[in-house]
Amino acid sequence: MTANAPLGRRQPSLPNPVPPTESEPGWTRRTCSSPAIIKRYESKKKGRTMSPRLRAAGPEDAEGIALLHADSWRRHYRGAYSDSYLDGDILTDRLSVWSSRLVAPTHSMTAVAEDHAGLAGFVHVVFDDDDLWGSLVDNLHVAHDRQRTGVGMTLLARAVEAVAQEATGKSLYLWVQEQNVSAQRFYRAMGGNCSERAPISPPGGVPSRLNGKPDKLRFTWPDTSALARTTDR
């Protein structure tokens, strides 16, 4: 295993991040195994799990998801994306994206996690996105005040289930910004391999929206059946 408030009628908070979808040339192979980090992560989350309600997202969820997505970008992408861009009207952009996605989903799945307070997180998966790496978890975000409560693991498990049901292959991958250490820690704990590194594409293709030349990391799961066992612990 990223906006400004959770869902419902309250401001969503931040989630665990997800990076751009583009495949880019010139990657550098990298390993990212760290048993010590994984052990610390798992010890911290003990006793703090919850069971949110999961359901398929529909057009009526576009606003809440966009709010959470925008909050997540502002919390996690600052430093990689420019302040002027993040402090601007990114909510309108996210609302446009999610309105289109949820009205006419194409070979993809979006699920939301809800609790007594409203939207706790969401996940969006594109099936068979890449011939080599498999299906893409394009977005996995957890509201800021629901992090480390098991919501991220629940959403990842739903993504794995959807891939098993809908995709032709068993592989799964996602992108994480290199600066987003907490998300990397989570995905390592879930058995993800940090396989490659690449430049982050500027939002909307506008170079001024980036700070310098930030990188992103590809985390991979060659076989989602192994990930399913991890999320089912």
- CB of 136 within 8 A of CB of 126? yes
Which ranges in the chain belong to alpha helices (H)?
35-45, 62-76, 83-86, 90-103, 151-166, 181-189, 224-231
pLDDT > 70? residue 3: no
Mean pLDDT, residues 49-76 taken together: 93
Give the pLDDT score at 225.
85
Mean pLDDT, residues 132-146 taken together: 97
Higher pLDDT, 98 or 117: 98
Break the chain down into helix, strand, coil percent, rounded to 5: 40, 25, 35
Summarize pLDDT for 75-110 with one digit per residue, the tens.
999 999 999 999 999 999 999 999 999 998 999 999
213 class by beta-carbon count within 10 Å (0-12 exposed, 13-18 middle, 19+ buried):
exposed
Q: Tokens 């490659």, residue?
A: 196
Separation of alpha carbons 97 and 111, rounded Å: 16
Summarize pLDDT for 14-31 with one digit per residue, the tens.
344 433 333 333 333 333
Give the pLDDT score at 2.
41
Give the pLDDT score at 9.
37
CA-closest candidate to residue 157, choices 231, 222, 51, 223:
231
Summarize pLDDT for 204-214 with one digit per residue, the tens.
999 999 999 99
Give the pLDDT score at 233.
62
Query: At residue 231, what are phi and psi to the nearest 5 degrees?
Result: -75, -10
Separation of alpha carbons 128 and 119, rounded Å: 27
Tell me the average pLDDT of the chain: 83
Residues forming beta bridges with residue 173, ordered by sequence position: 136, 220
Q: How many CA atoms lie within 13 A of 210 on its CB side?
A: 15
- Coil, helix or strand at residue 212: coil
Give the pLDDT score at 229.
74
Q: How many CA atoms lie within 13 A of 147 on its CB side?
A: 22
Percent of the chain past pLDDT 70, that is, above it, reads 78
